[in-house]
Amino acid sequence: MTKERLKELLKPIAEGLFGPQGTRRGPVQPHYTVRPVGMIVEDLCRIPEEDWAKYAFSREPLNGKFNDEQRRDLTCRAIACGREYAEKLADRYGMRDPEKLARKLGLKVDFPDMPQNTERVLFAEFREPDKVHIYMDGVRKGRALLGEPGVPHALTGQLDITKLLIGHELFHWVEEHYKKEIWTRTYKIELWAPGPLHNRSGVAVLGEIAAMAFTKALNNLPYSPYVMDAFLVYGYSPEAASGLYEEMMQLAGREPRLPQAEPPAALPERDMEGGEAR
């Protein structure tokens, strides 16, 4: 995950946990109804990979340049790109384990507790040219949630949080390594420029979407790793994670549930005799 995207993602948390909390200045943080973590992952795991398009693009600085059809089309192409490279590398090296694959490719993976020189919450990052940091504070908080009701069933026994994060960061290395040919880097859009000048720009979110598809394929997960955005944030702030859940559900065209919501009620039993109840 890029630093920028995570910064944006965790802004509400950073502001809540470390920021202007206690001071009376600044905008009031919205409050979200806290859901059990099991409800959040249950619903989010049902969202098909392509339906994450609008959520993913909502973090893209050039989001306004696209309509929904284009967002969806680009998302599908980014997913195909991520899968293609996952299979290519898995075949070439005869392994799918992201951690082993990363080491085989010469990356240096380490597991510090937290990022240095920042108070921000961060789960993982790729540093050029060849370093991947997996921050264990967030991973441990995530692991502690794996036993919550509904979570094991939704996330499946396949999930290994560190391997999922390594797979995502490994894709950022892959992008650098294949930057002349990989679609997420060769795809450009034309931005306005005066006269005969050209101003072509890459679209950063395509690399994020492909990184999610890449790690999904390597880890053999049946759901989109975007679920982890909300799940790992839950370890720090159930309320911020619930806000993300609402946003993710709405952007995927679904209705967020409220806690204690009854399952859809069965139709009331009809009085078979006809006539109104007295």
Supply the DSSP string of 171-237, one letter for each residue.
HHHHHHHTTTT-HHHH--EEEP-STT--EEE--HHHHHHHHHHHHHHHHT-SS-TTHHHHHHHHTT-
The partner residues of 118 in beta bridges, in order of sequence, read none
Give, in degrees to the nearest 5, the angle at Cα 122 between 252 and 149: 60
Stretch of residues binding Zn ion (CB under 5 A), selected from 128-136, 201-209, 219-227, 249-257: 201-209
Please report how close the Cβ of residue 58 comes to Zn ion at its closest, in angstroms. Answer: 15
The least distance separating Zn ion from the CB of residue 207, rounded to whole angstroms, comes to: 7
By CB under 5 A, is residue 213 in contact with Zn ion?
no
Per-residue binder mask for Zn ion (CB under 5 A), 131-160, x = binder? ------------------------------
Work out whether 1 is an interface residue with Zn ion (CB under 5 A). yes
CA 228 distance to own-chain centroid: 5
For residue 6, the minimal CB distance to Zn ion (Å) is 8
Residue number with the smallest Cβ distance to Zn ion: 1
6 binds Zn ion (CB under 5 A): no
Cβ 178 vs Cβ 82: under 8 Å: no
Site for Zn ion in 41-100 (CB under 5 A): none
Q: Fill in the DSSP letter of residue 239.
A: H
Least gap, CB of 208 to Zn ion (angstroms): 5
Q: Looking at beta carbons only, is 126 or 245 nearer to Zn ion?
A: 126
Measured from the CB atom, the residue of 53 and 211 that comes closer to Zn ion is: 211
Candidates 146-154, 195-203, 210-218, 260-268 — which segment interacts with Zn ion by CB under 5 A?
Answer: 210-218
Is the CB of 2 or the CB of 29 nearer to Zn ion?
A: 2
Residue with tokens 């059990």: 36
Q: Give the Cα separation of 72 and 56 in Å (integer).
A: 10
Give the dihedral sign, CA 78/216/61/251.
positive
Q: Which of 58, 56, 244 is nearest to 168 (CA)?
A: 56
- Residue (148 or 176) nearer to Zn ion, CB: 176
For the bound state, the minimum distance from the C-beta of residue 234 to Zn ion, rounded and expressed in Å, comes to: 19
Number of residues that bind Zn ion (CB under 5 A): 4
- DSSP codes joined into one string, 116-127: TT--S---EEEE
> Which one of 88-96, 139-147, 205-213, 241-249 is the stretch in contact with Zn ion (CB under 5 A)?
205-213
Residues 100, 113: contact at Cβ < 8 Å?
Answer: no
> Which parts of this chain interact with Zn ion (CB under 5 A)?
1-2, 208, 211
